[in-house]
Structure 1
């Protein structure tokens, strides 16, 4: 199994921002202050989106907490605990409850314990899965995130409800015992919507942490900023139009048109970077929540919350499409090309050669096969090392490829043995090509290799009854005969 990436892998700062990176590394307390500021700022955003007391359409701090613990582990806990206690006093001021300081401290501490313990459990489980992953498990990790994240939010909401009841802020009544549901939906959206984006941001705030983030494979070249802004504006217009029509006509079913938001979002997911996709999800969610708040669409809250969660989840799985396509292309390339020499692999060469033979017969063109290898290659490996042997193979393949026509095919059969298919070449042309290559081989200069490189060649023209396999057997016998006759020769049928 592949070893997990080092957790100490450093973030590579963008050009022109090295001084920010250096400052954050030298003064880690600044990173903690930025985390606190981010958490409190997003808490204030969530308090502006409340459609019921203690219930927002989404709760961004949950995403920050889950991301911070996932990235930093226990290091994030003091900063988050401070934030939980601070917002308890802030809530007291907002609602003018004027609770005693000791009760506020107790409430804040209980809230911090409930909030942090639930997300520490979920983030630790997800981090454990990440540490045991390999490059082909990204889909399963995203699936695990969409299960563990909501489960952590459910636990956090229930524990928070219990904490509020224990502290006396909320009365223990049948209605209050249902508080966990709106709390859960808000926290769930905060995690689903913001965790990937917060990981990207916190990775920059804490440059020495979370090297595994850059190893997840979600890479893509960013496009034009203005094109991205245009896509965001198209999504924003759709949100505004749908929600204003819902508010104007008071038709509940009209709110479901918000699901059309998936069209511009998928446009962004498939054409922009994962980081920009995260930004778009966060911005669309925020705009939806703000519009719902100020258009008094509280009765439709569940519709909009559900639409945001579906949009976020589908976006993350949509990100897998370019990743999987890239992986498939790499696997396809590995089956086509020899990794070391970049010549065609044996598995690819033989089927393609058979097609070329059929084409040559159809047009009644000659076609020939050359099989060759490096003389005394085993001695090169034994005397100078396998690294020198690898360089010799690469140099040979590069030299041969530079002298071929576009239609010619170079393949590696295995070891130091190569195949060369020459469409349109009869036996005389093929012998001339092989002789040109044979005389060129000693020109290869390899540091550490003192003897010149030579090669032996077997050449045959592929007849009307031949297959690529029978032609290879013929050329390979000629190659062996060239070696028996002293090597550094080109042999063909008499």
Structure 2
């Protein structure tokens, strides 16, 4: 009884904890931003932007906005309380109302815009969604920045002449924090929402089922270490010689290596690598007091994140192209080559063997009584028999042999470098691997370069019909 009640209780706790997690994560991100500040109102990055984006996307407006507004108001109030001059009522209105609404509204809209891009087409498109995230995030960062800067001016905390100088680094810091951490935090909060059995929008799972490159955990760590090592090394060199900004070149070289990770690892590893790169970069810059190079490093951070997100789409495109090519060149049901592609490959293999002075065997393989199977047991049984024949052929043939489905119940195999005796052995091996199906096989041997492939296939076809006339389930050589 205890264990049966534990799971519902745990879910209720998680549901109650979700707003608390959002509130605490936002304030922790705000503290991180303050630690990385290199000028008044300017930080290397502003991670709360990522928290707001991820919370609205994962939990929706109703469940996330109260916690986000409360966290933003708390941070703004602490900032106002830290001013040396007494706070006026305009300060408190700005801190408790205007700043939170501007921030949460802007990045919440970016989240909704990004999710809407997933549903815009008949199938999810990762490049489209990445583009929506990057463009929507840039607009949201600009909106939050300008609203915040003008609010500060209205409240008497910022001179009008200083608005532009304050807003530009503020904008870049917000955008850097969003691009570096937003997608990874979204996955984390989505998983929390699942555990709490909160309603989770289907679009949040749109890219989970997309094909990914084969992942190798033991190779990810060396790649990650190389990326982070380049960043650390470059920043240490710059700290030793701050007048030589060209020493930052390894930071940009790490962007190339990060694309390597995006192309060869899974989505989670790529997002984790982007986040760790950003954390290591901003922490090292703050520790070594390299704020004079903040703008260059922020561009590197944003470029690496943007390139990585688009890079995640490359393996998908490769796989889609491979699947499309396979649909065009292979029979969808049996996996054998389509007729046109088979003739192309078979001719190439045949000519290569004949140039070496080797014989070529052509096997015409026909499934016996397919019409009877379809009429008696249905087309599903006929399809299963065809698939069994194709599997038996593949298991008996070599890598260099070519198998094609010519249509209906007929297959053809071209075996380069194969004499008559071996061809008959292969034919009987195919028959022996069949359990439910039975085939007749005709064989022709090609040793004349001036003979056309279709003529050899015609001879094999003649042998096939001889096998059928003699009782089916036979092998005949012509």
TM beyond 0.5 = yes
**Residues 314-463 of structure 1: pairs in structure 2 closer than 5 A:** 314-331=307-324, 337-405=330-398, 407-426=400-419, 430=423, 433-434=426-427, 437-438=430-431, 440=432, 444-445=435-436, 453-462=437-446
Counterpart of 2:113? 125
CA distance in structure 1 between the aligned counterparts of 2:386 and 2:314, rounded to whole angstroms: 36
Quickly say closer, same or farther: Cα 1:276–1:408, change in 2 above 3 A.
closer
TM-score (norm: length of structure 1): 0.80
Looking at structure 1, the residues matched to 40 and 294 of structure 2 have their Cα atoms a distance apart, in angstroms, of 14
Runs of at least 5 residues in structure 2 that lack an aligned partner in the other structure: 1-5
Q: 272-281 or 303-312: which moved more?
A: 272-281
Task: Report the equivalent of 1:267.
Answer: 257
> In the TM superposition, what are the counterparts of 1:4-403 in structure 2 within 5 Å?
23=10, 27-74=14-61, 75-96=63-84, 98-99=86-87, 104=92, 107-133=95-121, 137-166=125-154, 168=155, 170-171=157-158, 173-176=160-163, 178-207=165-194, 209=200, 210-217=204-211, 220-223=215-218, 227=222, 230-231=225-226, 233-247=228-242, 251=243, 254-271=244-261, 272-331=265-324, 337-403=330-396
Counterpart position of 1:469? 454
CA distance in 1, matches of 2:60, 2:43: 27
Deviation at 1:28, TM superposition (A): 1.8
User: Is the partner of 2:146 in helix, strand or coil?
Assistant: helix
Deviation at 1:144, TM superposition (A): 3.5
Query: Once the 2 structures are TM-superposed, how far is the Cα of residue 45 of structure 1 from its aligned partner?
Result: 0.4
**Partners in 2 of 1:183 and 1:218 — Cα distance?**
36
CA distance in 2, matches of 1:238, 1:323: 33
Shift in Å, 1:42: 0.8
Q: Deviations over 1:209-254 (max 9, x none)?
A: 322242355563322676356335513432432431344xxx2xx2
- Please tell me whether the aligned partners of residues 55 and 186 of structure 2 are also in contact (alpha carbons under 8 angstroms): yes
| CA separation of 1:35 and 1:228: change in aligned 2, threshold 3 A | farther
- Deviation of 1:347 (Å): 4.1
Give 1:321 deviation, angstroms.
4.4
Which consecutive residues of structure 1, in runs of 5 or more, have no partner in the other structure?
1-18, 446-452
Instruction: Give the Cα separation in 1 of the matches to 2:309 and 2:358.
Output: 53
Once superposed, what is the RMSD of the aligned Cα atoms?
3.5
Task: Kindly indicate whether the alpha-carbon contact (under 8 Å) linking 2:124 and 2:206 is maintained by their aligned counterparts in 1.
Answer: no
**TM-score w.r.t. structure 2 length?**
0.82
